[in-house]
Amino acid sequence: MESKLKIKKVNEKAKIPMYGSVEAAGFDLYGVNEEDVTIKAHETVLIKTGLSMEIPTGYAGLIFARSGLATKKGLAPANCVGVVDADYRGEVMVALHNHTNEDKTIEAFERIAQMIIMPYLKVDFEEVEELTDTERGQNGFGSTGKK
């Protein structure tokens, strides 16, 4: 199944996202910075993409780290996963955090993150006195691991 994602350049030098391979789930987002940007150790910098998008109703654009950028440079979205809602029409930006003890550089127009368009379930909230029982119950944080 293929769908169209409407994209508007808010900066004429912005790069249209691309999939890295035929079966890639996420498409690459590029920074629109015309010069290299240094992110100091343990700091976060907002990198613009120069793009706005019209994400279909019932979907969200989830922004994830690019594995190469995360493993080679220690740079990943500060909020772990960014969420771009379907009704947002502003410029898509990525808050990149430097998880290392050294300053790292994002090159001009470098691939900075990847986005996956995902459906979501909108729910109505119902307050109750009790929840149904399960075998797991309230056991969390590693409780389903080896015994």
In a domain, 129, yes or no: no
In a domain, 135, yes or no: no
In a domain, 146, yes or no: no
What percent of the chain lies above the pLDDT cut of 90? 86
- pLDDT digits 0-9 by tens, 11-29: 999 999 999 999 999 999 9
CATH of the domain at 44: 2.70.40.10
Residue 112's nearest CA partner among 41, 37, 31 is: 31
Residue 7's nearest CA partner among 49, 56, 61, 53 is: 53
Query: How many domains in the chain?
Result: 1
- pLDDT digits 0-9 by tens, 94-116: 999 999 999 999 999 999 999 99
In a domain, 14, yes or no: yes
In a domain, 134, yes or no: no
In a domain, 125, yes or no: no
The overall pTM is greater than 0.95: no
Residue 29's nearest CA partner among 10, 44, 16, 11 is: 16
Query: What pLDDT is attached to residue 61?
Result: 97
In a domain, 55, yes or no: yes
Query: What pLDDT is attached to residue 145?
Result: 67
**Range of the structural domain that residue 99 is part of:** 6-119
